Structure 1
Amino acid sequence: MRRTRRIHTTGQPIDPSKPRSGSVVTVLAFAGITVAVMQTLLVPVIKDLPVLLGTTPANATWVMTATLLAGAVSTPIMGRLGDLHGKRRMLLASLAVMVAGSLICASTDDLVVMITGRALQGFAMGAIPLGIGIMRDELPREKLGSAMGLMSSSIGVGGGLALPAAALVAQHADWHALFLGAAGLGLLAMALTYAFVPEPPLRAPGSFDAVGALGLSLGLVLLLLPVTKGSDWGWTSAPTLGLLAASVVTLVLWGLFELRTPAPLVDLRTTARREVLLTNLASIMVGVAFYAVSLVLPQLLQLPVSTGYGLGQSMVVAGLCVAPLGLTMMFVAPLYARISARRGPKATLMLGMLVIAIGYGAGLGLLSAAWQTVLIAVVLGAGIGLAYSSLPALIIGAVDPSETGAANGLNTLMRSIGTSVSSAVIGMVLADTSVAMGSVRVPSMEGFRISFLIATGAVLVGLVLAAFLPAQRPSARPVLLASSADGDARRADGGGDGDGGGNAQGAVSAPERRTAAPS
């Protein structure tokens, strides 16, 4: 006869054989920041890419687009693979792919080879949901909030810190050194992960849905390709409209298939729950708001003073002025944990979105000096950090522990869609409102302000969506642990079957649910 034991959510035994939770958090956050660096690594040299690669400006944009598309495709797939085969194992695989892509880029000036390497770099974005999943499985409850907040914010932290660092390297060394540095960071992250991050024992049942993965990948590429290239192709051109129509058809067929398969890549029934659906929709809006500032401030800072509104700063100084965006995101993770413990992640998400709206609203009249851009970056970083930190907690509180990786992968994908839409829309606005300066056209102050208004509108929509999220229902009751038949044991204890009892499960960390040895 198998006995079960109850462990209350107020604490758990300390296993001295395990790595310290502080080491796990630090290493996973470093891995997340390393992966996020890939998204903005080439921003300082983007205007020079046509010359560096011997191609046209339209073709050179594929170097950025490939990373975005690969990152969007990889996040739900790697999350599901982590749930099935081990999150630490898949995290190491993601970092290894990133290192391979970095080395490929460091050794070439050929456009096609560079695009291939950049796609491999982007594939590592799956490390973000994997890291969040490991934290849920391994950390005690009292440390989980701030840890997940830091991991979730690592997307912005890495992107913000990469700008000044990449600008400094690009100004004083061969641009290929950017990729060598990225490979070095990836190898260091792999070594630290191998040494300090344990492999969680929790596994999801079922097998990998290869057909679902292919269908989702195809649908996302068909969707994001015209979104990111629409301004080049024309928004009403046959390729743009044709690909958008094809993406709708593909994603609808994929959804029908996922509803019928016994082990889907994405459980659409879980995704359709109010708390999950609204969180994912709000994530898109936060993604739009995050990318707007990354597009506007560096350009404004580097435009010459002769325009009448440009701030005439160097590439490095512009990067340093934007860097507080990422630094503030990193420092608000502990603040998020305190607010969330008192008010819940819903309140923290709404507060973060309100701060973002205030930051963009203030930015409409504070764009005339470099110090003002630093102030805007700090305020927006605080708001985006609070909002990003809340998202994994809301998702985890609504799904079964075995779905953590896939669910957070989908949420990360929603943010990527938001940044893609932001890039496309704001890029179009800046192009349509540009003004002539000599023989070239440059973005106008009107375009910058319209971009800030768009971001403000997006975050206000997100605020309304967040208001309809259900209030947090904290659970302090014991959680039943068993070494097998986990779902049956939880049902026997009244904990639900992972569908109706998702919120209660999400209120405690996975170590408190871990199986007990039979006796």
Structure 2
Amino acid sequence: MTDTLENPAVREHRWRGRLILWAAVLTLANVLADVVIGSPMMVLPQLLEHFDTDQAAWLNASAMLAGAIWSPLLAKSSDLFGKRRILIGTLLLACAGALVCLAAPNVWIFLVGRFFQGAAFAAVFLTVTLARQICTPRVAMAVVGVVTSGSSLVGIIEPFLMKPIIDVFGYRSVFIVAALLAAAAALCVRSFLPESPIRGTGRIDVAGALLLGGGLGAILGYISLGSDLGWSSGGMIALLTAGAAASAGWALRALRVDEPLIDIRALSGPILLTLLALVLAAGSFRSMLQLTSIIAQVSPDLGLGYGLGDGEAIAVLLATPNIGIVIGGVCAGWLAGRFGPALPLLGGIAVGAVATFAMLAGVSALPPAIACGAVIGMAAGAIGASGYNLATSLEAPERQGTTAGLVSVVLALGSVVFTIAGGEILKATQVPGTFADGDPASTATGVYLYVTMAGVLFVLAAVPAIILTRNRFPAPAGPGAPRRPESAAGR
């Protein structure tokens, strides 16, 4: 398309029918990422049986690892060729991956399909940067809040919708639904959304993309799979070594080439502070969401000092954070449009810290656990939306795709590292033979240490967030006409 930044038909400045349609289409694209990552886990036992394998960890983590590999390349490509165009290509890649998984005759072909499906991981930051460039800043921040959190509603209804379909059509139905959803989302993006009006210049450093993507995927693979396959096993050590070597090779290359995939030298202090806050905060709220799902399955009758298992209450406990994510993300986007994104980021971190420490009482009582889960969900929604808004507002428009992709990577990195760390805390404090089937369970001490770890992470994340709030950082001007500066803390 030939639209430019100066064309008022592109830069939507208020909520009306067209903008609501755009937000709905962008949210639909983000729903695909949730479906790609989450839905196959509903049929994991059937997949293991069908492919005659016991490698549940690989089947579980493959799409997320692929997303880490795809993200740097797709982020840079979106800056050069247009966010809408790359978003459509990403959705079509995910559709093709679902079809490969559907027809896969063996586990290796299935993993190839999951690799292509993992491209859907990039949909989140692509929708963010597209919203930032087809709307004026104030409206765009509210839209980002909607599109980054609205898909969480699917987490509430997805199990109820998918279970009867799986019961009738088996595990393949998950990939049929994913393929149809990806195709529908691509068609809607093509039909209803304008192209981003700003382009960067230069070329794609393909070698750098391979080094960075491969290094990230290998390191995340080690972190994700080491607990199941053995931290010190030969294969895991080789994976970590390869990841570290590839990442170091990318860093050296980025400092030497003229147009690196991510220009390390151009990462400003405010952006680095934002990324630091996000990696800590994401690790905290993701680890708490994981803990909630664990203790929801433990009956208080076991006498462990914790446990919330109580029939239908479990569904409420697991659904409540998703509702909180939607509320937190939408509110943070609205606040960012009025006061700047740094303030709601700090607010989300502060609220998350209070709710996390309050969970020390909630691990053994259902009502406070539900309340804490809702508030932690609100914190997660606010942190995600504000993180994208803040990082992109600090970057020149022609580099916003790359920066948003970097935000996605650090969110995933924090989530993986600290949920694994929390799992290791629980594993280190297990008591064998706790459950009727002989499985072990963690002690109350382990659960309290886990909650304390998450709370401390929130407190640490608040430090860079406070710095960002107390200082005003002007946004770099984009190409063309001068832009009114945006502040990280407000205008």
Question: Which range, TM-score by smaller chain?
Answer: 0.7 to 0.9
Aligned length: 482
1:289-368 residue pairs with structure 2 within 5 A? 289-303=284-298, 307-308=302-303, 309-312=306-309, 318-368=314-364
Aligned to 2:249: 253
Aligned to 2:56: 60
Which runs of at least 4 in structure 1 moved beyond 6 Å after TM superposition?
11-16, 504-508
User: Alpha-carbon deviations, 1:308-333, whole Å to 9, x = none?
Assistant: 4544456x874553222222222333
Aligned to 1:197: 193
Aligned to 1:453: 452
Asked if the contact 1:212/1:257 (under 8 Å) is kept, the reply is yes
Shift in CA distance, 363/239, structure 1 to aligned 2, threshold 3 Å: same
Alignment-mate amino acid for residue 457 of structure 2: A
* Pair 1:20-2:18 in alignment: yes
Aligned to 1:468: 467
* Pair 1:42-2:34 in alignment: no
| SS class of match (1:429) | helix
Asked if the contact 2:51/2:107 (under 8 Å) is kept, the reply is yes
Distance 1:209 1:62 in 2: 29
Asked if the contact 2:473/2:488 (under 8 Å) is kept, the reply is no
User: Alpha-carbon deviations, 1:135-160, whole Å to 9, x = none?
Assistant: 11101233111111223335755556
Aligned to 2:127: 131
Aligned to 1:423: 419
The one of 78, 96, 107 aligned to 2:92:
96
Report the alpha carbon displacement of residue 353 of structure 1 after superposing the two structures with TM.
Answer: 0.8
Alignment-mate amino acid for residue 458 of structure 1: L
Alignment-mate amino acid for residue 285 of structure 1: L
> Percent sequence identity over matched residues?
25
Alignment-mate amino acid for residue 35 of structure 1: A
Aligned to 2:107: 111
Aligned to 1:148: 144
User: Alpha-carbon deviations, 1:158-193, whole Å to 9, x = none?
Assistant: 556545555565567623322222222222212221
1:69-88 residue pairs with structure 2 within 5 A? 69-88=65-84
Aligned to 1:177: 173
Report the alpha carbon displacement of residue 466 of structure 1 after superposing the two structures with TM.
Answer: 1.5
Which runs of no fewer than 5 residues in structure 2 stay unpaired? none
Asked if the contact 1:164/1:317 (under 8 Å) is kept, the reply is no
Shift in CA distance, 338/93, structure 1 to aligned 2, threshold 3 Å: closer
Aligned to 2:208: 212
Asked if the contact 2:349/2:379 (under 8 Å) is kept, the reply is yes
Alignment-mate amino acid for residue 275 of structure 2: N
Distance 1:193 1:215 in 2: 31
Aligned to 2:279: 284
Mean CA deviation greater in 201-210 or 458-467: 458-467
* Pair 1:262-2:258 in alignment: yes
Distance 1:276 1:104 in 2: 38
Distance 2:88 2:5 in 1: 34
Which runs of no fewer than 5 residues in structure 1 stay unpaired? 481-485, 496-500, 509-519
Distance 1:161 1:468 in 2: 39
Asked if the contact 2:355/2:375 (under 8 Å) is kept, the reply is yes
Alignment-mate amino acid for residue 263 of structure 2: D
Aligned to 1:513: none
Distance 2:10 2:60 in 1: 46
* Structure with the larger RCO, 1 or 2 (CA within 8 Å, 6+ apart): 1
| SS class of match (2:128) | helix
| SS class of match (2:439) | strand
Distance 2:355 2:50 in 1: 37
Shift in CA distance, 327/472, structure 1 to aligned 2, threshold 3 Å: farther
Shift in CA distance, 371/34, structure 1 to aligned 2, threshold 3 Å: farther
User: Alpha-carbon deviations, 1:36-77, whole Å to 9, x = none?
Assistant: 222222344446654454222xx1210112111111122222
Alignment-mate amino acid for residue 386 of structure 1: A
Distance 2:394 2:334 in 1: 21
User: Alpha-carbon deviations, 1:392-431, whole Å to 9, x = none?
Assistant: 1211122110111111001101001112113322232333
Mean CA deviation greater in 373-382 or 200-209: 373-382
1:395-434 residue pairs with structure 2 within 5 A? 395-434=391-430
Shift in CA distance, 241/126, structure 1 to aligned 2, threshold 3 Å: same
Report the alpha carbon displacement of residue 351 of structure 1 after superposing the two structures with TM.
Answer: 0.9
Distance 2:27 2:157 in 1: 14
